[in-house]
Amino acid sequence: MEILHSKILGEGQPFIILHGFLGMSDNWKTLGTQYAENGFQVHLIDQRNHGKSFHSDEFNYDVLSDDVINYMNHHNIDSAYVMGHSMGGKTAMQLATTHPDRVKKLIIADIAPKYYPPHHDFIFNGLSHLDFNQISDRRQADEELAKHIKDRGIRQFLLKNLYWVEKEKLGFRFNFDVLKNRMEEIGENIFPNAIYDGPALFLRGDRSEYIQPNDFAEIKRHFPNAEIETIDKAGHWLHAENPKQFYEKSFTFLNS
């Protein structure tokens, strides 16, 4: 059994943080350090097929949730505070509804318990144009990617996944082929009868379309004790766009 790669920061109550699609644990390093400085042992996890964790052809929310349980067992964590963003939020929902005794409190960042149609085609189209036999540094990769992906923020996010496979040879940390072919899985919903009645906080970006007011009833159906709050001046990457308010709202909830 393979165990997910993680960075563990601080001492205190175990707090597991799950990144989004094509992300990695490093995306949460700044906020993770803040939580770690204030009483939590923070586990920044790379989910399977992402970051430094193992690659696998199996990829759905059942196995992603089981990976976290295996990780907790490996690290002797009976229960933890759990936070997930986007895809990581779906993993966290699956975890909380199937193993409620393992989740003390749940924080979901900008994703609802509903089906999302695949919408990452343009990203994979751009990434597929990166020829690492021709590209020898990040600047060249960014220039090529810019022909297909105009948003600089998205490009910078994606380029964090580049690493030196060997001397002078770049590659992706994420499992490009599996993730490209499993886009449908990313949008999948949790089970219709799934319920977690522990404390939950859903944070949504005021500029994001991922959680709409008409999703609130469905959130409450699956998570009857959920609070729903909005982060100002933030889109889908709300933790990066307004980290101060994100930290304040999440930290208040964790300590309430």
pLDDT at 256 over 90: yes
CB 118 within 8 Å of CB 179: no
pLDDT band, very low/low/confident/very high, at 248 (cuts 50, 70, 90): very high
Contact between 154 and 241 under an 8 Å Cβ cutoff? The reply is no
Indicate the pLDDT class of residue 234, thresholds 50, 70 and 90.
very high
Q: Which of 65, 86, 208, 250 is catalytic?
A: 86
- The question of whether 206 is a catalytic residue gets the answer no
pLDDT in tens, 16-28: 999 999 999 999 9
Q: The whole model's pTM is what?
A: 0.96
CATH architecture type of domain 6-116+187-254: 3-Layer(aba) Sandwich (3.40)
Q: Helix, strand or coil for residue 213?
A: helix
The whole-number pLDDT of residue 131 equals: 93
Residue 159 has what pLDDT? 93
pLDDT score at 121: 87
Catalytic residue check, 53: no
Tokens of 24: 């990695």
Domain ranges in the chain are 6-116+187-254, 121-181
Angle of CA points 213, 216, 219, to nearest 5°: 150
* Angle 95-8-2 from CA coordinates, rounded to 5°: 55
CA distance 9 to 164: 25
Residue 149 pLDDT more than 90? yes
Average pLDDT over residues 53-68: 97
> Is residue 136 scored above 90 in pLDDT?
no
3-class secondary structure, 42 = strand
Among candidate residues 222, 236, 239, 250, the one labeled active-site is 236
pLDDT tens-digit profile of 83-106? 999 999 999 999 999 999 999 999
Q: Whole-angstrom Cα distance, residue 53 to residue 206?
A: 32
Question: How far are the Cα atoms of 62, 64, 144, 241, 249 from residue 245, in angstroms, in the given order?
Answer: 32, 29, 35, 10, 6
Q: Provide mean pLDDT across the span 123-149.
A: 93
Q: What angle do CA 51, 206, 105 make, to 5 degrees?
A: 55
The pLDDT value given to residue 189: 92
Which position has the higher pLDDT, 45 or 152? Answer: 45
Mean pLDDT value of segment 147-155 = 91
- Catalytic member of 177, 197, 206, 232: 177
- Distance between CA atoms of residues 7 and 25, nearest Å: 7
Residue 6 has pLDDT above 90, yes or no: yes
User: Per-residue confidence at 183, pLDDT binned at 50, 70, 90?
Assistant: confident
User: What is the Cα–Cα distance from 211 to 229, expressed in whole angstroms?
Assistant: 11
Question: Tens digits of per-residue pLDDT, 113-125?
Answer: 999 998 888 999 9
Q: What pLDDT, on a 0 to 100 scale, did the predictor assign at position 168?
A: 83
Average pLDDT, stretch 150-161? 92
Burial 101-127 (b: 16+ CB within 10 A, else e): ebbbbbbbbbbbbbeeeeeeeebbebb
Q: Is 119 a catalytic residue?
A: no
Lowest pLDDT segment from 40-49, 66-75, 93-102, 154-163: 154-163
pLDDT of residue 184: 86
